[in-house]
Every structure is written in C-alpha cells, then in structure tokens.
Amino acid sequence: MVSNWATRIYIAIVLAIFTTPALAYIDPGSGAMLVQAVLALVASAIFYFKNPKQLWDALRKWYRERRK
C-alpha cells in the first residue's frame, strides 16, 4: 500500500512536469483603469442627482428598503 506522503510527492512531480504558462499577469494600468471606472461612476451619480445630498438620501432610502 502506498503511503499518503508518497502519493503527494507523486502528484507534485506530475503537476511540475505538465505545467503550462498561466499568462495571468495584471499590469498596473489595469488597476488604474479600475480606479478610473469607480471615480467615473461616482462622478456620474453626483451629476445625475445634481446634488450630493439628494444622492445620499436616495442611497439611504434604497438601503432601508433593502433591509426590510
């Protein structure tokens, strides 16, 4: 019977031999684009409601209705 550690070593060797590149690099420009999108969403919400207090009241109303 094969022991548990031997099975783990065998699986590690097989995975190390048959690896492929992930190509999953995320550059700093992607993070900057995400920040820009969030800022644009906030700015557009403020301009849509034309008043930050109106935006705050709408968000509070939505949150209260959601909690019920």
**54 HSE (CA, 13 A, CB side):** 7
Tell me the mean pLDDT in the region 30-52: 86
pLDDT digits (tens, 9 = 90+) for 46-67: 787 777 788 788 889 999 998 8
Residue with tokens 């969030």: 38
Rounded distance, CA 17 to CA 11, Å? 10
pTM, entire model: 0.42
Report the C-alpha gap between 62 and 54 in whole angstroms: 12
| 1 pLDDT above the threshold of 70 | no
Mention every residue, 6+ apart, whose C-beta is less than 8 A from residue 48: 55
* Token pair 């969403």 in the structure block, residue: 41
Reduced to 3 states, what is the DSSP secondary structure of residue 15? helix
Mean pLDDT of the chain: 84
